[in-house]
Structure 1
Amino acid sequence: MNDAYLVGAGQSAFGSFPDESYRSLFRTAYERALASTTPAEEASDGVDAVGGLGGADIDEAYIGTLGVGGRQLGLSGPAITEHLGLHGVPCTRVENACAASGYALRQAVMAVRSGMADLVLAGGVEVMTDTSSEATKWWLGVSGETEWERMAGTTFAGVYAQMADAYLREHHVDGEALSRVAVKNHENGAKNPKAQLGFTCSLAEAEHAPVVADPLTLYHCCPTSDGAAAVLVASEDVAEQFDDRVRVAGVGAASDRVGLFQRESYTGIPASSMAAERAYEEADIDPKTVSERLDFAEVHDCFAIAELLAYEDLGFCGPGEAGELLEAGVTALDGDLPVNSSGGLKSKGHPIGATGAGQAVEAFEQLTGRAGDRQIEGAERGLTHNVGGSGGAAVVHVFETDSRATGDGGETSDADVGPGGESA
Structure 2
Amino acid sequence: MTDVRISGVGMTPFESEAAQSILELAITAAERAIADSPHTRDEITSLHVGNALTEALGTRTGLANALISALGIEGAAADRIENTSASGASAFQRGAHVVDSRASDVALVVGVEKMSVAETREVTESISRLVHDREYEQGVTLPSFGALAAGTYLDRYNVSREALGAVAAKNHRNAANNRVAQFQTEISIEDAAESPIVAEPLRLYDCCPTTDGGAAVVLSRDAGVRVESVESATGTHAVADRTDPLDIESVRLAGERAFAAAGLGPQNVDVACIHDAFTILELLELEELGFYDAGTAWEATLDGETALDGGLPVNPGGGLKARGHPLGATGISQIIELVWQLRGDLRPDRQVPNAGTGLAVNVAGFGNNSVCTVLEG
- TM-score normalised by structure 1 residue count: 0.86
Is residue 362 from structure 1 mapped to residue 362 from structure 2 by the alignment?
Answer: no
**2:3 is aligned with what amino acid?**
D
The equivalent position to 2:301 in structure 1, one of 326, 333, 345, is 326
Q: CA deviation at 1:341?
A: 0.3
Q: Which moved more, 1:10-19 or 1:21-30?
A: 10-19
The equivalent position to 2:273 in structure 1, one of 298, 303, 306, is 298
Structure 2 residue aligned with 1:388: 364
Who wins on radius of gyration, i.e. which is larger? 1
Is residue 88 from structure 1 mapped to residue 63 from structure 2 by the alignment?
Answer: no
The equivalent position to 1:104 in structure 2, one of 66, 91, 95, is 91
CA offsets per residue over residues 262-318 of structure 1, 9 Å max, x none? 2111112110000000110111114xxx1x311100010001011011110111100
**1:99 is aligned with what amino acid?**
A
The equivalent position to 1:309 in structure 2, one of 284, 296, 306, is 284
8 Å contact kept, 2:87–2:329: yes
Structure 1 residue aligned with 2:211: 225
Structure 2 residue aligned with 1:119: 106
Q: Which moved more, 1:103-112 or 1:166-175?
A: 166-175
Looking at structure 1, the residues matched to 359 and 240 of structure 2 have their Cα atoms a distance apart, in angstroms, of 29
Q: CA deviation at 1:73?
A: 5.6
**2:89 is aligned with what amino acid?**
G
8 Å contact kept, 2:57–2:123: no
8 Å contact kept, 2:210–2:325: yes
Structure 1 residue aligned with 2:257: 278
The gaps in structure 1 that reach 5 residues or longer are 40-46, 402-424
Structure 1 residue aligned with 2:230: 251
The gaps in structure 2 that reach 5 residues or longer are none
SS of 1:56's partner is: helix
**2:280 is aligned with what amino acid?**
I
**1:307 is aligned with what amino acid?**
E
Q: CA deviation at 1:16?
A: 2.5
CA offsets per residue over residues 63-92 of structure 1, 9 Å max, x none? 111125433564222122222222121111
**2:22 is aligned with what amino acid?**
Y
8 Å contact kept, 2:23–2:63: no
8 Å contact kept, 1:2–1:112: no
Q: CA deviation at 1:167?
A: 1.6
**2:228 is aligned with what amino acid?**
A
The equivalent position to 2:141 in structure 1, one of 151, 155, 167, is 155
Is residue 269 from structure 1 mapped to residue 248 from structure 2 by the alignment?
Answer: yes
Looking at structure 2, the residues matched to 149 and 246 of structure 1 have their Cα atoms a distance apart, in angstroms, of 41
SS of 1:248's partner is: strand
Looking at structure 1, the residues matched to 95 and 123 of structure 2 have their Cα atoms a distance apart, in angstroms, of 29
Looking at structure 2, the residues matched to 348 and 89 of structure 1 have their Cα atoms a distance apart, in angstroms, of 32
8 Å contact kept, 1:167–1:266: no
Looking at structure 1, the residues matched to 231 and 204 of structure 2 have their Cα atoms a distance apart, in angstroms, of 32
Q: CA deviation at 1:2?
A: 5.5
**1:21 is aligned with what amino acid?**
S
Is residue 397 from structure 1 mapped to residue 373 from structure 2 by the alignment?
Answer: yes
Q: Which moved more, 1:19-28 or 1:163-172?
A: 163-172
Q: CA deviation at 1:149?
A: 2.1
**1:310 is aligned with what amino acid?**
E
8 Å contact kept, 1:57–1:119: yes
Q: CA deviation at 1:106?
A: 0.6
Structure 1 residue aligned with 2:173: 187
Structure 1 residue aligned with 2:158: 172
Structure 2 residue aligned with 1:418: none
Structure 2 residue aligned with 1:44: none
**1:112 is aligned with what amino acid?**
V
SS of 2:42's partner is: coil
- TM-score normalised by structure 2 residue count: 0.96
Looking at structure 1, the residues matched to 358 and 18 of structure 2 have their Cα atoms a distance apart, in angstroms, of 34
8 Å contact kept, 1:2–1:114: no
CA offsets per residue over residues 149-202 of structure 1, 9 Å max, x none? 223222221121111112222222222111000000000000100000111001
SS of 1:70's partner is: coil
Is residue 375 from structure 1 mapped to residue 375 from structure 2 by the alignment?
Answer: no
